[in-house]
Amino acid sequence: MIYQPDSSDKSSLRGKVFNTVRESILEGKYKAGDVLRETVIANELNVSRTPVREAIRQLELEGLVQSIPNKETIVAGVSKEDVQDIFMIRNKLEGLAGRRAAERITQEELEQMEEVLALTAFYIAKNDIDHINELDHKFHDIIYKATKSKILKHMLSDFHSYVQSTRKESIATPGRAKRLLEEHTGIYDAIRERNAEKVEMLITKHVQNVTMNMHL
């Protein structure tokens, strides 16, 4: 993807470069131990080295890269310990998010969930792991949005993004995608019924199932 510089909004350009490189790390395009070279990234995105340098500084603050003074920048990525910590935290917060969503979700958001479930079934039949993974992310994102809590949505969306590579591996496990759809359908039904207690229980169980299915 090529981003053309916009002199009227340099901060937006910096943000786009940051998000692009960050996504490449989280998706596994850049793996732990890889060297990030400003010139290469700048050429790929058709930008100057300045926003790339600024993006790398932000990534270092997140702990995704490590810059060695006067040498090079190494991808740190997300470690197994990081993933385990994230799922431990998710296990506590996702249930709360589900409870809030059951109380606050809109009809439009319920319809979006229905569409995601239908598309998930379609792509399971095709064994299209990439699309199933994207829809898994979208399903949870609708729940986060439905909480009407910016803090919960921001935290859980970040956590979900950080473990996307692990989630994809889990979904690719034989039979897991079908079970994921069953779990999501149960969560949707409970949210539609406004049964907050049941939603919290089902989402907590769902996160536990994902955790047990991880290859760590």
Q: Mean per-residue pLDDT for 124-141?
A: 95
125, 109: one domain: yes
Residue 32 lies inside a defined structural domain of this protein: yes
Which residue type occupies 210?
Answer: V
Q: Where are the beta strands (DSSP E) in 65-206?
A: 65-67, 73-75
Does 3 map to a domain? no
CA atoms within 13 Å, Cβ hemisphere of 100 = 17
Residue 1: inside a domain: no
Residue 8 has pLDDT above 70, yes or no: no
* Domains identified in the chain, total number: 2
Q: What is the separation of C-alpha 84 from the centre of its chain, rounded to a whole number of angstroms?
A: 15
Mean pLDDT, residues 49-70: 89
Tens digit of pLDDT for each residue in 171-198?
Answer: 999 999 999 999 999 999 999 999 999 9
How far apart CA 109 and CA 105 sit, in angstroms, is: 6
Q: Is the pLDDT of residue 54 over 50?
A: yes
- Nearest-angstrom CA–CA distance, 119 and 127: 12
Expressed as residue numbers, the domain containing 187 is: 80-212
> DSSP letter at 69?
T
Report the CATH number that the domain containing residue 37 is assigned in CATH: 1.10.10.10
Whether residues 197 and 92 share a domain: the answer is yes
Quote the pLDDT of residue 6: 43
**CATH number, residue 85:** 1.20.120.530
End-to-end CA distance of the chain: 32
**How high is the pLDDT of residue 160?**
83
52 and 157: one domain? Answer: no
Rounded-to-integer distance, Cα 17 and Cα 14, Å: 5
**Same domain (yes/no): 32, 89:** no
Task: Indicate the pLDDT class of residue 42, thresholds 50, 70 and 90.
Answer: very high
Chain centroid to Cα 156, Å, comes to 8
In this prediction, residues 122-129 reach a mean pLDDT of 96
pLDDT at 9 over 70: no
